Structure 1
Amino acid sequence: MDAHTELGQDRAHSARMYDYYLGGKTNYRADREAAAGVLRVYPGALVAARENRGFMHRATRYAAEELGIRQFFDIGTGIPTEPNLYQVAHRFQPDARVVYTDNDPIVLAYDRALLTAGPPAAIAYIDADVREPETILERAAETLDFDEPVALSLVALLHFIPRGDDPHRLVARLTERLATGSLLVLSHATTDFDLPDSTHTVAAAARAYEEKGLMLGRVTREEMGAFFEGLELAAPGLVPTSEWRPDLDLAEGLQRLPGMISPDEVGVWAGVGRKP
């Protein structure tokens, strides 16, 4: 088996498609072809990806700057783009520790390079699957102190986890281990914002993913809320990614006017919950 096949470059991968939506360079022909198929039926995928990334930046800033959290646990890291989570965290908490987790070999290769860019004692990478919560928690404990608050990020990850693997149970197991004051940062694709008379919908995007052997699960608002059971939702609650604390945006000079981005362009619920 050649390296091209071994690394999966001959077939589309959701993380590399996401990198393409964000304007990155770590994607291959199969990824670009699959992404083009999605964009034909859901042009909002470009906006959705960028708004999702912005939500991650703002939630990380909220955790570090407003709550003083100094530990970050990012599961489903994906291809690193700048500013990366650790860069945002270190901007407000220079001694913050960050653990990245993913199970894609190309992501692993790029994250190994990323580790050399930051303080080695402050950044760690776990090659594991979110469906193995016990393994992830055990290995993360080598870097993070779970007796202190941790910001756990599951951003645009769970819609790639089959319902048969019970994503709600996985999230409950992970948050159970967190200390009081910890955060759950989570976003998930939804068809709740699809316009009834439009052919450009998240539902259509999901079918395009399925044609490439990938999945894009969707949740209702009620199902999204269930991920935060036992947690206290931070204001403004469950909202489209573009509407979660835009005042915290890191982009210099950005002005977000009401209605500038409509929920159907985003197609993703977002929320941040604090463990009481």
Structure 2
Amino acid sequence: MPNDQQPPAIDTSVAHSARVWNYWLGGKDHYAADQVAGDAYREKFPLIEPMARESRDFLVRAVTYLTRDAGVRQFLDVGAGLPTANNTHQVVQRIAPESRVVYVDHDRLVLLHVESMGESTSEGSMDYVLTDMRDTDSVVEGAAKTLDFSQPIGLVINDVLGHIVDWDDALSLVRRLVDRLPSGSYLSLSHATADNETHRRAQDEYNNSGAIPYIFREPEVTRAFFDGLELVDPGFVSWPNWRPEPTTGKLTVRAGWGGVARKP
């Protein structure tokens, strides 16, 4: 974690998007206002909690594949948010203890909860870069203190690009980051869409509440994030259909799509 940053004071009386998501995932880093907002959303769209879990499960399966099968030992997790169970470094270091992981987020709130992520293994390392993910120079400069950008890196962008309202900005962000990676690196990316019209209305109400908005995009659009890369099987598919395991939930068959691709 950057040692020159001081944890901020926080207003626990106002719901915060990252804490609401943490609540849906069953985490502990949330307050009464976040529970109220999360419950209100769930009342309108009961599948929001399974959706949050299936998004997280996709992340776990993707980084497991990258570590176990693709041999990646460096990870850059952009837009990491608040910690919960099975954070990226915990998953990959269980497989390869020497792995190095850097998390990136712009929200100073996360500094209050970094210790909840658990320590790195002694063989590997874990660090945190506090910067806006759109500032790709700062992302790479901060990550390069821990990661070797001459060796393959697994870039993880899990279900956060909907917070960038402008499509061209979101697409440009991904391409700029991928351009900074060496050949043999991988991109693991997911993005949510509306499961149905009820889901869309619930999100619209949430976006209008003053919380950080999230913009749904259709998979026919978000597939463009992987242009120029080599998608690994089974391609860009709904979360439950990406290399499912016997315990993989399949309640939200359309609410989110993801894929993993190699940079030639």
Q: TM-score, normalised by structure 1?
A: 0.86
Structure 2 residue matching 1:73: 3-state secondary structure: strand
Tell me whether 1:157 sits opposite 2:160 in the alignment: yes
Equivalent pairs counted in the alignment come to: 257
Structure 2: unaligned runs, 5 residues or longer = 1-7
The sequence identity of aligned pairs, in percent, is 38
- Cα distance per residue 1:168-193 (max 9 Å; x no partner): 000000000111111111111113x4
Find 1:91's aligned residue among 81, 89, 94: 94
Match of 1:272 in 2: 260
**8 Å CA contact 1:24, 1:81 repeated in 2:** yes
Moved more, 55-64 or 8-17: 8-17
- Cα distance per residue 1:95-114 (max 9 Å; x no partner): 00000111222212211453
Match of 1:212 in 2: 209
Cα deviation for residue 46 of structure 1 reads 0.5
Match of 1:242 in 2: 240
Structure 1 residue matching 2:228: 3-state secondary structure: coil
Quickly say closer, same or farther: Cα 1:32–1:165, change in 2 above 3 A.
farther
CA distance in 2, matches of 1:72, 1:180: 14
Find 2:29's aligned residue among 26, 30, 33: 26
**8 Å CA contact 1:115, 1:123 repeated in 2:** no
**8 Å CA contact 1:239, 1:269 repeated in 2:** yes
Instruction: Tell me which amino acid in the other structure corresponds to 1:209.
Output: Y
Quickly say closer, same or farther: Cα 1:121–1:90, change in 2 above 3 A.
closer
Tell me whether 1:231 sits opposite 2:233 in the alignment: no
Quickly say closer, same or farther: Cα 1:18–1:73, change in 2 above 3 A.
same
- Cα distance per residue 1:213-269 (max 9 Å; x no partner): 13111112221111111111111111111111113xxxxxx4459xx53414xx111
Find 1:166's aligned residue among 165, 169, 174: 169
Find 2:141's aligned residue among 130, 138, 143: 138
Cα deviation for residue 38 of structure 1 reads 1.4
CA distance in 2, matches of 1:7, 1:92: 36
Match of 1:81 in 2: 84
Cα deviation for residue 120 of structure 1 reads 8.8
Instruction: Tell me which amino acid in the other structure corresponds to 2:233.
Output: A
RMSD (Å) for aligned C-alpha atoms = 2.1
